[in-house]
Amino acid sequence: MHVESDGSIEEPKIIFLNNNKFTELLIKYPKVKNKLPVISKILKVKRYKYYYNYGLNVLNSKGFIPDIVHCNVMNPVGLIAKNWKQKYNTPYVITEHWTGFLSSDGRYAKNTILKFSLPNIANAADKILPVSLDLQKALMKNNLGKKFQIVHNVVNTDKFYLQNKTKNKFLVVADLENTQKNILGIVKAFKVFSATNPDITLNLIGGGSDEASIIECINQNNLSEKIQLHGRISAEEINDLLAESYASILFSNYENLPCVIVEAFAAGIPFISTNVGGVKEIINEERGILIPAKDETALINAMKQVLDTEWNPDVLRNYAINTFSYEKIGQEFNSIYKEVIGA
């Protein structure tokens, strides 16, 4: 139970989900109702800690005591891991993939609360597991963490596979948001490319805050028959469109290490991307083309280069499986867990 901000008592809703020998515990509880921003934030943090401890006590009563805690991100769940380490001496590791730590993004640098709270969480962790070397450097620059090991994002490579289909497209899988993803830049570059390659189309997969302005740009440039928006679709549908594409494209102003690159590799498709974040760590000459951010001419030339290059789909797929698959990343996590708990 917990005490509401108005003094009332309310029991949480507890749900156990059994999946073979694993159990997932869900605890649902009311939102903070206080309208004062400072008080609301304080109550949210207190409630967050309370219910995680409540859940741990429920699991303990069932005979489950964790050997290690793995946080998917530093904020906010790192607060709980640090609390449990202090109370129960339970070690914890943190996977980190937030682009906000990058100087090109800047959200961490501008957030006073995070700059106050996260160093203690990061530095008490037994290991920080950034998904790229570029992100590790950003964390170190911000004094976030003491021990690091890079573990890449995991991708379900079984959902993406080789298909023998006629290619007549380029593909973009991204949030339709321009500050980071620069979709408008792709549209403008494709207009120039299309003038000499009229039979090739462009597919945009995703949704986002700038969808209306992107559609307007497409219409203004008379590209409605050349560029198709698909919205958010399944992995199976993405795989089919990848198989019909010469390459997948990202024209981002900043990134960490996007999974869409690996998904394309798993489907045997090369990738064109701006040279930002950790992207250069996984794209080389046999897997794609790196270009400068905001350089539309470079994007146009890269699309032309893709058409003139022989790509080996087996090499692309094997790289994805050997580096990012469930089995590969699972093995890496297992080794880290054993190291941390001394098994």
Average pLDDT estimate for 258-285? 97
* pLDDT at residue 25, rounded to an integer: 78
Distances (CA, A) of 293 to 135, 184, 280: 18, 13, 13
User: In percent, how much of the chain has pLDDT > 70?
Assistant: 93
* pLDDT at residue 312, rounded to an integer: 97
Triad 39, 41, 46: Cα angle to 5°: 95
Res. 67: pLDDT tops 80:
yes
CB proximity list for 215: less than 8 A, separation 6 or greater = 229
CB proximity list for 82: less than 8 A, separation 6 or greater = 92, 120, 121, 124, 125
Burial pattern 300-319, b for ≥16 Cβ within 10 A else e, equals bebbeebeeeeeebeebbeb
* pLDDT at residue 38, rounded to an integer: 79
Q: Dmax over Cα atoms in the chain, in whole Å? A: 70
pTM above 0.85, yes or no: yes
pLDDT tens-digit map of 45-66? 888 888 889 889 888 888 888 9
pLDDT tens-digit map of 80-120? 999 999 999 999 999 999 999 999 899 999 999 999 999 99
Alpha carbon distance 182, 199 (integer Å): 24
CB proximity list for 338: less than 8 A, separation 6 or greater = none
Q: Map out the domains of the chain as residue ranges.
A: 1-65, 67-154+325-343, 157-317
157-317 topology per CATH: Rossmann fold (3.40.50)
pLDDT tens-digit map of 185-230? 999 999 999 999 999 999 999 999 999 999 999 999 999 999 999 9
Q: Does domain 67-154+325-343 have CATH number 3.40.50.2000?
A: yes
Identical topology for domains 67-154+325-343 and 157-317:
yes
* pLDDT at residue 283, rounded to an integer: 97
Alpha carbon distance 214, 183 (integer Å): 7
Average pLDDT estimate for 325-333? 97
**Confidence class for position 22, pLDDT limits 50, 70, 90:** low
Query: Hey, is 128 helix, strand or coil?
Result: strand
**DSSP secondary structure of 141-201:** HTT--SSB---PPP--GGGS--------EEEEES-S-HHHH-HHHHHHHHHHHHHH-TT-E
Q: Which amino acid is at 29?
A: Y
* C-beta of residue 93 within 8 angstroms of C-beta of residue 73: no
